[in-house]
Structure 1
Amino acid sequence: MDKIMRSAIRTIIYMMSACLILWAVLPEWKTVTLGLMVGLAASSMNAFLLKRRVNMLAQATLEEGSRRRGLGFGSRIATVLLVAMLAYRYPETLNMPAALIGSMVMPFVILVAGIIHNVKEDNSGKG
């Protein structure tokens, strides 16, 4: 899981750097690229929250007597809602559709990274 998350975060950083370059080069796309960057940042934060939640659930299953607690889904939704509120409040700075699209990118990046990791693991010649 750590290798998949590391490669997904690396991909998100590359995407954010591409958005930063486009923000500097294309002035008419500044709101779109900034919206994408804010959405990608929120998406990566949600991925870290989900990873932490999965680790907590794994620990809870190992320990007897502990029960589920916390606001895992609520905090992830609140992060996306914060991005939407910022884009709604400052439309001259952030593009709302770009921010919402950026906030939904990380699950797909993790999926692709997991598939690539699985294919590399299967073709490693072991087994």
Structure 2
Amino acid sequence: MDNIMKTATIWLLYLLSACLILWAFLPDIRTVSLGIASGLAVSAMNAFLLRRRVGMIAEAAMQEKARRKGIGFGSRIASVLLLAMIAYRYPDIINMPAALSGTMIMPFLILAAAIMHTMKENSSGKG
């Protein structure tokens, strides 16, 4: 899981740097590029929160404790809602559709990284 997240994070940083370069050099699409960049940042934060939560659940399952903690989904939704409220308040700075679409990119990057790592493992001659 760590290799998959590391690969997805590297791809995310490439996308984030491309958005910031577009923001710097193309003033016509500044709101869109900043919206995508802020959405990517929120998406990365949500992915790391989810990764931490899955690790905590796996650790609790190994210890056979049925202890539940609770605001994982709420904090991830709250971060997206905060971004939407900021984009709604400042539409001349952040484009809301771009920001909301940027929040959906990290799960697809994780999926692509997992497929890549699975194909690499299967083609290495093991089993």
Question: For structure 1, which runs of at least 5 residues remain unmatched after alignment?
Answer: none
Aligned partner of residue 124 in structure 1, secondary structure: coil
Q: Which amino acid aligns with 2:80?
A: V
CA deviation vs aligned residue, 1:67-94 (integer Å, no higher than 9, x gap): 1112111110001001101100110100
Residue in structure 2 matched with residue 101 of structure 1 by the alignment: 101
- CA shift for structure 1 position 63: 1.6
Q: Does 2:113 match 1:113? A: yes
- 1:65 deviates by 3.3
**Amino acid aligned to 1:61:** A
Give 4+ residue runs of structure 1 displaced > 6 Å after superposition. Answer: none
Alignment partner, residue 36 of structure 1 = 36
User: Aligned partners of 1:41, 1:65: CA distance in 2, in Å?
Assistant: 33
* Mapped partners of 1:62, 1:113: distance in 2: 26
For residues 95 and 64 of structure 1, what CA distance do their matches in structure 2 show?
Answer: 46
Please report the TM-score for the alignment, with normalisation by the length of structure 1.
Answer: 0.97
| Alpha-carbon distance in structure 2 between the residues aligned to 1:57 and 1:65 | 10
C-alpha deviations, 1:31-52, integer Å up to 9, x for none? 0000000000000000000000
Count how many residue pairs are aligned between Structure 1 and Structure 2: 127
RMSD over equivalenced CA pairs, Å: 0.8
How far apart are the structure 2 equivalents of 1:73 and 1:125?
39
Gaps of 5+ in 2: none
Q: Distance in 2 between matches of 1:24 and 1:32?
A: 12
Mapped to 2, the partners of 1:2 and 1:42 lie a distance apart of 19
- TM-score, with length taken from structure 2: 0.97
